Structure formats: structure tokens, C-alpha cells
Structure 1
């Protein structure tokens, strides 16, 4: 939020006080509104200017936990000091306006002092409320980042276990292929350890998926056919790390692995009206769409949780039937502003 916008709620908050003081000057001093309104405005401006010091004080004197009487005593003294300063400030301005000393003394000064104390309490209360809201927002952000990191770390071992299982299956039937797959797996492992971002460019994610498919290609040989249609305009778009890999791995595990016939995967990505649209389609045996919507597997379930943390309800993960059979998984992601991602 631009810094100038922070002051708008404060200005709006002073408007009711200005109206109240205008009405008081009109009723108590029998002033017409043409004179009462400027007089009340001047009183508010001096109170607001002194309030800047109160706002800084709330930053230097945080709300204690547990609550301490010393905190109350300090603010009580500061409230009296604020009220006296406000009274003298207004007297100085009136002295300049009238060309003679104006002092607010006697019984008439008591309401001014009481009003000054009330102003102090109001300004300090707003300051502490704002800082409490800021701390709550920071805590929520840290919790979200922690949750996202936990989900990402849960996804990485899940994927690496499956990739390692692929290598183990190759050892007795294709030792050389197992060596090549191990080398590819080492590169994938390095990427998963080094990648700490929640959002990555599609170009980086697609390169990771291609290395993963290279391992599965060694395992399945001609039984796995991959067709891709990745628009160049979409390569710079951001998506959750390992999101596309999760969709591709799901298709390999549930379509290619159980079948002895060749399985074709169609991977597509495009940018459509500010949305990154990904789809992975296989021509395997298909799946129960209702069951997928309810639970899905470990990888897809954790992907859903990450999407909820990152996008709220703006991201969509949908399942559909392939043509003539198989499964299509579509993922639509809004493109976040640069300041909203975590790189």
C-alpha cells in the first residue's frame, strides 16, 4: 500500500471529531457555523500535529505483556503533558491572531485539559490498535509461509521416493538404464534441495518436469509418449514449485505404470486473460472423477492445500475425462503481482 494511503483512514477518523467540535462551539459559544467550523478545524489540526508525537510514542513504548502499572503511569503523565501542550499551542495561535497574549487559565481551562486527555487516549488507542493489527498480519504471513514450506517439504520426499522406486525397478532389467536414471535423479535431487521458492517461472518448472520425464522414459521406453504444447508467452508466468510435476507424475503413475500398452501424455500451458492454464491429459484407463474431487492422492491433495494458501479460492484444479478415455487434469492460476510472491 502506498504510504500516502495510510493517512486517509486517519483523516477520515478526525472528521466526526471536527463535526462534534463544530456543534459544540455553535451550542456553547453561540457561534455561527461559518466561524465555528474553522475554529474547530484549527483545534483539530493542533491536536493532530501533537498526535504525531503520541503515535511515535506508541512505537517506542509497546503494549506490555503482562500488563504493568508503570505503563499506565507513563501514559498518564504523557496524557497530561499532551493536554497542557495542546492548550498552550492553541493559546499561542490565538495570541498571534489577536495581537495580544491569550491565556487559557481558571475554571475554563479544565474542559480544555479534559478534552486534551481524551484526544491523547484516542490517538494512543488507535496507534496500539494499528500496531496490533500489523503484528497479527505479520504473524499470519509467517504462519502461511511456514505452512507452505512444510507442504513443499512433504511433497519433495513423496516425489523423490517415487523416482527412486523407478531406479530400483530398472536395476535388475536394465543396469545401464538404471545408471542413467540415477544421474538424472541426482540432478533432480539437487534442484529439490536448492529450490526454496514457493512460486517459480513456468520455464524452470518445465525444465524440471522434462528431467523427471527423462527418468520415466528410461523406465517405460516406447510405452511412454509425451507431447507438449507450451506457449512461449506462458514461460515467464509464475506457478507453485513442483505443481506441474505433480500433475505429470500423477498421470505417469495412474495411466502409464499399470498399462502394458503405450500411453500418451499431452502437456499444455497457455496464458489466457491473466490466467496461467495448465493441462495434463493421458489416454490411460481413466479414474473415478467423484473420488478424485473428494480426496485424490497424496501429491494432488498437498497441491490443493498449497493452492489454498497461495491463492485462496482464485486457483482451480479440475478433473475431466479424456477423449475417448483417460483423464484430464486442468490447473488455472491467477498471476500474482511481483510483491505477492516469495522468491
Structure 2
């Protein structure tokens, strides 16, 4: 049984190859028959306008002879055009191949027509081959030459179109790879810096408050599990992002005790909106490092999200010392700005400025979108 199936499969492969080989030939023949029919119709009606009588059948037979020559030449011309495409670096090679090739193709077509046209009673030709060929050469050489270059131009057009699509696909792959690299960079930035501070705090708490140290360690394990379990998604829902930030801030609140509090102002209408993964963490970390950590008084961070005219507007504000004279774009903020530019182009906004109530405000706006989140593969 297995031998029979194998034998049938082996017999099927040549059949499929033969069908694939026949398809270009059939398309070529059908295309040139259609051209012959169109030109015959034009000749028939043009003769009628001039007051002459040219039967459509006779005109079709004559044009079919002409089309047959080009049908024989089409596939060789297309193969030659693929092997010797138009390139700036090889301009003279193109000229050296296609100029003689076009002349040879036209002469072949004219010679074939001069010999076969009298057999079908084509108008305007006689029994003398040389007289027919000379007359056709003078009257139709340039139009036939245009046919050759039209075929070559069609191959060049398809080649350029293929190259454009290939560049677009390559560009999309590079964008996806860039997004993945940026996300991995953000994760690697979060883990060493954040781990160092957290583990240092746990080490201090082990002697003073073992229960708090164990609780902080549990929070850290949960947070790292969320980071490591991320499947490479470029986007998550705002609810998932806020849950991650809540875990992050819970650990920071143990570190800073009563000096840190936070509030999330986000309605249920935006909780399913898609946002770049880990987009809020650098903003919150920046508020803690440059706002809360630099002041002795209690600090407060407010995270807000709202929908506005098709945009999702996110903001992280603190009541710290403010920007001062210079606005410094750290690694986290610079990375976030680059990710937003790469993902949304001109359809986003990212600003850092003074909080009206004192401190710093970082805001961003991205298109409001809901549904399945995009992933990096």
C-alpha cells in the first residue's frame, strides 16, 4: 500500500511541474490571440470608415500571423529581460544585449510574416517574399521595435514593484526587531537598577522588620514574574499596565514608607485601551528618582488616563522639586520617546514640563485603540 502511494506521489510531481510549465505558454498564446482580435477589429472598422471592405476574418488571419511571431518570441524575451535587467551599474551591458536582441526579434517577426501572410490571404502582401519583407521593414520596423521594448519594460516594472514590496516587508521586519530590542532594553534597564535598590532595602529590613522584608520579597517575586512572563507583546491593555505599576509602586512604598503615596485617575472607559508595554514604568521611576527621592517631605505621584478626540492621554505628575533650568532626558525617557516615535510616528505626543502644583509632569498621547494587542515575533 505504501509503495502504491509513493508511486502515485512520484507520478504526481512531474504532472504538476508540467502544468506549471504549460501555464506561461497558454497565457502567452491567449494574450496574443486577444491582441490579434483587437487589432483585426480596429482594421476592419478603419477600412469601413475609409470606404473600403476588409472582412474581419481576413484581418484577423493577417494579425494572427503577426501575433504568432511575437508569441514565439515572448517567453525568450521575458527570460532575457529577467537575466539582463535595467541597472545603472550595468547600463552598457543592457544596451549591448537588448539593442541587438530587439533588432533580431523584429527581423524574425517580419521574415515570418512576409512568408506566412500570403498563405492566409492577408491584404497588402504578394507572393514575393523579398518584396514583402522590404515593404514591411520600411513601414513597420519601428512599431515592431516598440513591441520588444514594451515586453522588456513590463518585466522591469514588475521587477521594480517586487523590489518595492520586498523593501517594505524588510522595513516592517526591521521595525518589529527594533521594537523587540527596545522592549528588551527597557526590561534589562528595569531589572538591574530596580533589583539593586529593592534587594538592598530587603537586606536592611531583614534585621529590623522581617515581616516587611518577606512581604517586600513576595512583591518583588510577583513583579519579576510579570516581567519574565511577558510573551514579547509590544502592547498590553491599560489595565495590565496599571496592575504592573501598582506592583512596582507597592515595593517603592515600602522603601520610602510615608514619603511616597500615589493616586490613579483612570475611568473604566479606557481600561481596555492598548498601550505600549512598560510605557508608564520609566515615567513613574523618573518621578520617584527626581521628585520624591530628592525631598524630605512626603511626595505624591498621580497617574492619569483619559480619552480625548480619539487619543489616549496619559500623564504622570509629582510634587517634587521640579525641572529646574535644564530638562534632562535620561535613558528611560529617551527610550520611551524613541519607542513612541517608532510605533506611532507623527500620531503621538510626548512632553515633559512643570507641574502647575509644583514638581514635574510627563504626558503622552497615542491613538486610542482597543482589541487584541500586537506582539513581537
TM (norm. structure 2) is 0.62
CA displacement 1:64-123 (0-9 Å, x = unmatched):
9998xx999999999899989x99xxxxxxx9xxx9867997424533431211111211
Gaps of 5+ in 1: 1-24, 33-42, 88-94
Distance 1:57 1:235, change over 3 A: farther
Aligned partner of 1:212 in structure 2 is: 248
Matched, 1:187 2:218: no
Q: Using the TM superposition, name which of 313-322 and 300-309 deviates more.
A: 313-322
Separation (CA, whole Å) in 1 of partners of 2:170 and 2:159: 16
* Deviation for aligned residue 1:61: 7.6
How many residues are aligned here? 285
Q: 2:299 aligns with which of 260, 263, 271?
A: 263
1:137 to 168, 187, 190: 168
Pairing of 1:1-343 with structure 2 (within 5 A):
106-107=136-137, 108-175=139-206, 176-193=211-228, 194-288=230-324, 291-292=326-327, 295-335=328-368, 341-342=374-375
Larger Rg: 2
Structure-2 separation of matches of 1:252 and 1:307: 22
Would the aligned equivalents of 1:83 and 1:120 in 2 still touch at CA under 8 Å?
A: no
> Cα–Cα, structure 1 residues 79 and 142, in superposed 2: closer, same or farther, change >3 Å?
farther
**Cα shift at 1:341:** 4.8
2:319 and 2:360 in contact (8 A); partners too: yes
- The answer to whether the 8 A contact 1:163-1:185 is kept is no
Extract unaligned runs of 5+ from structure 2.
1-41, 50-62, 111-116, 126-131
TM-score, normalised by the number of residues in structure 1: 0.67
For residues 339 and 57 of structure 1, the distance between their equivalents in structure 2, rounded to whole angstroms, comes to 45
When the two chains are superposed, the root-mean-square deviation of aligned CA atoms in Å is 4.4
Cα deviations by residue, 1:117-138 (Å, 9 ceiling, x for unpaired)? 1111211111111111122222
Residues 253/80 of structure 1: CA separation in 2 closer, same or farther (3 Å cut): farther
Contact preservation (8 Å) 2:316, 2:361: yes
In 2, distance between residues paired with 1:164 and 1:143? 31
